[in-house]
Amino acid sequence: MGTPQRRPELIAPAGDMERLETALHFGADAVYLSGKLFSLRTFSKNFTLPELDEAVRRVHARGKRAYLAVNSFVKNRNLDPARSFLRTCAPMGFDAVIVSDPAVFELCRETMPSVPVHLSTQANITNALAARHWFGLGVRRIILARELSLEEIRTIKRETGGEIEVFVHGALCMAYSGRCLLSLYLADRDANQGLCTQTCRWRYALVEEKRPGIYLPIEEDRQGSYILNSKDLCLLGLLPELMESGIDGFKIEGRRKGIHYLASVIKAYRCAMDRYLEGPDDYELPPDCWEEIRKVSNREYTSGFFQGAEASSICLDEERPSRRSTLAGVIRDSGEDGWASIEVRSRLQVGDTLEQMGPAFPNPVFSLSAMKTPDGEACLEAHEGNRIRVRLPARAEPGDLVRKRLD
């Protein structure tokens, strides 16, 4: 294997300030985030305008990059509000704006001409000619459609020479590059304006036109049928091919995911990418990395179309996501006396098997032998929202996590 020309960015979602801090703490090079309007994740908590300003300051203080997602498709009535929103965000110092709609692209050039524009995957760029078109208009980076194989990605990169970004991990949509009308049709919520109800995850059955009320099974088990459900994308096992392809950014999906999910996925990809850069010729995926992404809630994993359409298998066989651990708490300080302060996120009892989780491996496993209240009183049980003090098996930093094993 040859040495990669550059280190690709690892780009993580930030649905609110806590997720932003978690993404930075666990090794993301950049985060993408949005305001309360004009993104495709309206149901995320997202950021107020003052919070956006503060978020950019925090990201830049860590030497990282912040990308503003304004990737919804706007209607005529939303053009002026979108213009006003972008004008307000212009002085905040974002490193790029992510757009899908050509109208929003034009508004970006009008209101923040010095800020680079990244073209969202929802723009459906699947070939070099389309990519050259957008690069010619001034787009800095293109986030390619998710329906492309590695060879197609390489061709676009080679024939354009422009910055290319791809999704490497997270939920997949059964609609073309996420441009879906199902939610609008069934729930009157437009996915292309950030209001997706994940209608494809609902249960469905086949009904014959002249036999209403008679539901016919389609590859169905007792839990239902899953003809519109997709497996989750995971390209961790194909990291060498990704690193050698010339791709500039590896993107993780999940602005609505919790901090446990974010920390685990970012940590796994960060560790694997760094290990590859240390020695491409003898690289092997660290087993800890694969174990890490199996511990968080996920549907069965797939490589999507990355290895070609004939190798793709994205339809889900099971409805229920699997997980092997749950977030138990967030470490707020390591404690001068050896007792760390933890903000509890799920019920804890003395005797629970816990795992300490920081940005680096390994993750020490320990039995919770004792707990204290902030006042120093012994306790046997703690609940979400409590603050407790616990002895940890290894040094910890604020922002590290503690999780409870379920297996």
pLDDT category, 257, cuts 50, 70, 90?
Answer: confident
Coil vs helix vs strand at 80: helix
How many whole angstroms separate alpha carbon 56 and alpha carbon 49? 11
pLDDT at 174: 66
Q: Alpha-carbon distance 390 to 356, whole Å?
A: 11
Concatenated DSSP letters of 192-233: GGT----GGGS---EE-TTSTT-EEPSS-BTTB--TT-BPEE
Given a cut of 90, whether residue 207 has pLDDT beyond it is no
What single-letter amino acid sits at 332? R
254: region left, alpha or beta (phi > 0 left; psi from -120 to 50 alpha): left
The arithmetic mean of pLDDT across residues 365-376, rounded, is: 95
Q: What is the pLDDT at residue 101?
A: 95
Distance CA(103)–CA(83), nearest Å, equals: 10
Whole-number Å distance between alpha carbons of 265 and 290: 10
pLDDT in tens, 279-327: 999 999 999 999 999 898 777 888 888 887 655 566 555 545 566 789 9
Domains in the chain: ranges and CATH: 9-175+232-311 (3.20.20.70), 325-405 (2.40.30.10)
What confidence score (pLDDT) does residue 147 get? Answer: 86
Q: Please determine, for residue 343, whether its predicted confidence score (pLDDT) is greater than 80.
A: yes
Question: What interhelical angle do 49-61 and 17-25 show, nearest 10?
Answer: 10
Tokens of 79: 């053009």
Residue 106 has pLDDT above 90, yes or no: yes
Angle between the 150-160 and 128-137 helix axes, to the nearest 10 degrees? 40
Whether pLDDT at 218 is above 80: no
Contacts of 250 (CB under 8 A, 6+ apart): 8, 9, 10, 11, 165, 166, 168, 242, 269, 273
pLDDT band with cut points at 50, 70 and 90 for residue 1: very low
Residue 77 has pLDDT above 90, yes or no: yes
∠ CA 299-300-303, nearest 5°, is 115
What pTM does this model have? 0.87
pLDDT range class, residue 382, cuts 50, 70, 90 = very high
- Say whether pLDDT at 263 is over 50: yes
Q: Which two tokens stand for residue 136?
A: 């010619």
What pLDDT, on a 0 to 100 scale, did the predictor assign at position 3?
46
Q: Which pLDDT does position 328 carry in this prediction? A: 97
Among the listed ranges 183-192, 330-339, 370-379, which one has the minimum average pLDDT value? 183-192
User: Are the CB atoms for 259 and 343 separated by under 8 Å?
Assistant: no
User: Would you state the structure tokens that stand for residue 12, as one six-digit string?
Assistant: 């993580």
Both tokens of 31, joined, read: 């985060």
pLDDT at 140: 98
Is the backbone peptide bond immediately before 240 cis, with ω within 30 degrees of 0?
no
- pLDDT, residue 337, reads 75
Q: What's the mean per-residue pLDDT of the chain? A: 88
* 3-state SS assignment for residue 287: helix
252-268 burial code (b ≥16 CB/10 A, e <16) = bbbbbbbbbbbbbbbbb
pLDDT value at 163 more than 70: yes
Q: Are 331 and 355 in contact (CB under 8 A)?
A: no
For residues 67 and 69, give the distance between their C-alpha atoms in angstroms, rounded to a whole number.
Answer: 6
Dihedral Cα 157, 161, 167, 168, nearest 10 deg: 70
The Cα diameter of the chain in Å comes to 74
Measured in degrees and rounded to the nearest 5, phi and psi for residue 129 equal: -65, -45
Distance (Å, whole) CA 230 – CA 294: 17
Q: How many CB atoms lie within 10 A of CB 183?
A: 19
Q: What percent of the chain has pLDDT over 70?
A: 84
pLDDT at 4 over 50: no
Give the mean model confidence (pLDDT) for residues 85-100: 97
At residue 41 the predicted structure's pLDDT band, cuts being 50, 70 and 90, is low
Tallying the residues shown for the chain, one arrives at 407
DSSP state at residue 288: H
Q: Does residue 165 contact residue 142 with C-beta atoms inside 8 Å?
A: yes
Share of the chain above pLDDT 90, in %: 69
Res 2: pLDDT: 46
405 confidence band (pLDDT: 50, 70, 90): confident
> Is 100 in a helix, a strand, or coil?
coil
The residues that bridge with 167 in the sheet, in sequence order, are 251
3-state secondary structure of 57: helix
Q: Return the number of other C-beta atoms located less than 10 Å from residue 302's C-beta.
A: 21
C-alpha distances (whole Å) from 401 to each of 244, 302, 361 are 33, 27, 13
Q: Are 66 and 33 in contact (CB under 8 A)?
A: yes
SS3 for 341? strand
Cβ 66 vs Cβ 24: under 8 Å: no
pLDDT tier at 254, thresholds 50, 70, 90: confident
Residue 256 confidence (pLDDT): 79
